[in-house]
Structure 1
Amino acid sequence: MNNSIFIFPGQGSQKIGMGKDFYDNSSLAKEMIEKASQRVGFDFTSLLFEENDRLEQTEYTQPAILLVSLIAHRLFNEVCKVTPKAALGHSLGEFSALSAAGALNYLDAVELVHQRGLLMKHACESINAGMMALLGLDDATVEAIAAKEQELGKKVWAANYNGDGQIVLAGNKDDLASLEPLFKEAGAKKAVLLPMSVASHCPLLSAAQPSLEGYLEQWLTESFTTPVISNVTSNAYQTKTEAKALLSQQLISPVKYKQSILAVESSVDCFIEFGGSVLKGLNKRITQKPTYSITDMKSLEEVLALF
């Protein structure tokens, strides 16, 4: 099992109570949560463990998921010093991967993705942004329909390649809704608008790029202990210069998650997901290689027993 890739979930994996078992049973987890709260000026214990509507707001969702992922990784790493072949994240998860790879201090990462969430929110405030989940169509069919509608002036783009027959689109909410009959006619099993006010991974976020690049320049380092696989290219990188350019481009480019898993599956024994289990579900549709998820102390112990 030493031949592994560490993977980190993105938005959509959040839920009230995540990280609670770590917090209750680990002084290290408690310390990480307390320091993160001091860094960004809001209380992660109430955000993570008490009923609230902030956890669904992107500027809070992003640091919450990242923090829980990095706690899971840190607890694993305290016991097992295995170095993965690479680290890989889904969207926001790429920032978790960078921190796990040593290129981003975890507190800097928490503040960075909080600011990223704010930038994304502000970029989408006045443009009726939205996202749509599609099931049952192949990539080429979706891309052809989107390209034809773009020529007609519609603002719609493929945003997440999550698996065969599972794509998320981003763009103008009304334009996305207008495409539903076209996708259904083409054979889609589902075409559902998601309850989101941000259009991730499409050109509508270009206004956020310059400010994000400033934060990346400020907080990224050259201290990579392992390569990180880019959402934009599906290729590995290991320098600050590449990270800065690719994470800026990631804002307006689709997440090639499926392609990234397929690119590395033949060279690894397993994938380990830190802080969630959404990617484990996606991986079942993509690869025969096993994925193990660490979401609490019990699953941590089970995964550690494999090494």
Structure 2
Amino acid sequence: MKVGLLFPGQGSQFVGMGKDFYDSNDKAKEMFEVASDAIKTDFKKLMFEENEEINKTEYTQPAILLYSAIAYELFKNADFDYAFSLGHSLGEFSALYSAGAIDLADAIKLVHERGKLMNAAFRDKVGSMMVVLGLDDETIENICKESGLKVWPANYNSDGQLVLAGLREDLEKLEPVLKEKGAKRVMLLNMSVASHCPLLESASAPLRDLLDEYLKDEFKSVVSNVSAKAYNTKKEALELLPVQLTKPVLYKQSIKNYENDADIFVELGGKVLMGINRKITKKKTLPVTDMASLEKVINTLEG
């Protein structure tokens, strides 16, 4: 079976993520140690115990990446053919790890620094993101353009589900306008950083420098959030990943572009994309979140 590997992004974190892997597998324990050493943080405490750090961007990102990386390492020995890796937002960095573009320690350092750069861009302003349900893309795009507000489309998740990013006060102003135009639901998210919009421009150049330091020259195919097309070289990554901060995530476009290249999708370290995929494709998406689901997915592929 040809498998498209999927990796969730920020917002999928929860206390207890990865604990079943850690308790059951020496490889998982080893990867926790590598991550902890990389940024001098106790990842067991970060991911298994109630704490405030798990929801801080600079720690959320490495925690999610570690969870997905462990799921991938335990899954990769299954009998399947690799089609491509596709991550949603932060998940693109997990996808790069799975594709052999970056070592685990460097990936942890990279997304930790990415989180800090994103926070720094919002030191003097308050950003946020907002989910809009029930309107077509063009209608929302036109509303954003005509509003004159600092608000942009950020995540094209599925038909009828688009996430906006921008200044919190501007998103709040846009909420009644979207409802008047027929949105079924408009929900402001509890975030202070607006991802995938021009407000993160200041983080792009420093991120490129980090990517240049950490990425390998060639790797397996990864589908870009920016272009919805696959790439497999450092040169391409250095063009795409810095602007990924300021450009929208073309998730549904990516699935539609590559669904025929895979017989099945496997989401590593979450179930969020499985839910979104039901609205995009008829291809099945199976999640790997613990040892039981790992065994179930492997049995499905090998059966």
Global fold match (TM > 0.5): yes
Amino acid in structure 1 at the alignment position of 2:190: P
In structure 2, the partner of 1:232 is: 226
Q: Partners in 2 of 1:237 and 1:40 — Cα distance?
A: 28
Map of 1:117-128 to 2, 5 A cutoff? 117-128=115-126
Shift of 1:73: 0.2
Q: Partners in 2 of 1:157 and 1:104 — Cα distance?
A: 31
Is 1:293 matched with 2:291? no
Amino acid in structure 2 at the alignment position of 1:163: S
Specify the SS of the correspondent of 2:34: helix
Amino acid in structure 2 at the alignment position of 1:43: D
In structure 2, the partner of 1:88 is: 86
Shift of 1:125: 1.7
Amino acid in structure 2 at the alignment position of 1:103: A
Amino acid in structure 1 at the alignment position of 2:195: S
The alignment-based identity, stated in percent, is 54
Shift of 1:4: 1.4
Q: Partners in 2 of 1:23 and 1:287 — Cα distance?
A: 33
Q: Partners in 2 of 1:143 and 1:130 — Cα distance?
A: 17
Q: Partners in 1 of 2:199 and 2:253 — Cα distance?
A: 23
In structure 1, the partner of 2:24 is: 25
Map of 1:140-289 to 2, 5 A cutoff? 140-149=138-147, 152=148, 154-224=149-219, 226-289=220-283
Aligned residue pairs, count = 301
Q: Residues 204-234 of structure 1, C-alpha deviation per residue, up to 9 Å, x if partnerless? A: 000001110110000000241x210000010
Specify the SS of the correspondent of 2:228: coil
In structure 1, the partner of 2:108 is: 110
Shift of 1:266: 2.3
Shift of 1:6: 0.4
TM-score normalised by length of structure 2: 0.98
Specify the SS of the correspondent of 1:7: strand
Note the residue ranges of structure 2 that are not aligned, 5 or more in a row: none
2:136 equivalent among 135, 138, 152: 138
Q: Partners in 2 of 1:81 and 1:245 — Cα distance?
A: 34
Q: Partners in 1 of 2:199 and 2:112 — Cα distance?
A: 19
Please give the root-mean-square deviation of Cα atoms over the aligned residues, in Å: 0.9
Alpha-carbon contact 2:75-2:294 (below 8 Å) kept: yes
Is 1:302 matched with 2:302? no
TM-score normalised by length of structure 1: 0.96
Note the residue ranges of structure 1 that are not aligned, 5 or more in a row: none
Amino acid in structure 2 at the alignment position of 1:209: S
Q: Partners in 1 of 2:26 and 2:292 — Cα distance?
A: 16
Q: Partners in 1 of 2:234 and 2:17 — Cα distance?
A: 31
In structure 2, the partner of 1:58 is: 57
Q: Partners in 1 of 2:201 and 2:221 — Cα distance?
A: 26
Shift of 1:81: 5.6
